[in-house]
Amino acid sequence: MSLPLQPLVEAYGKPWREFRTAVGARHTVLNRLKVEGLNYSTADRFAVKCNLHPIEVWGLDAWIRAAEVRPT
């Protein structure tokens, strides 16, 4: 299960350029993630880099579903 990027961008609440800097990803990578979504570990890492908890961004139900299907 992938999680959409847009809720994280909105929760961060700053311009796109600042978001890119905060998560440390290139524009091309983020464009791909806009289409494909984020896997569990990338979603977690990006949320933490934005000083957010993933549950704040995607909600408890979506976060639990993402955790259940992540590879071990």
In-domain check, residue 16? yes
Structural domain boundaries, residue 15: 6-69
Longest dimension (CA), the chain: 34
Using the CB atoms, write b or e for 36-48: b if 16+ within 10 Å. ebbbbebbbbbbe
**Domain annotation covers residue 31:** yes
Q: Is residue 36 part of a domain?
A: yes
**Residue 72 pLDDT:** 59
Confirm whether 47 is domain-assigned.
Answer: yes
Establish if 1 belongs to a structural domain: no
The residue with greater pLDDT, 33 or 70, is 33
Rounded Cα gap, residues 34 and 41, in angstroms: 16
Residue 29 lies in a domain: yes
Tell me what pLDDT residue 71 has: 67
> Count of domains in the chain?
1
pLDDT in tens, 14-59: 999 999 999 999 999 999 999 999 999 999 999 999 999 999 999 9
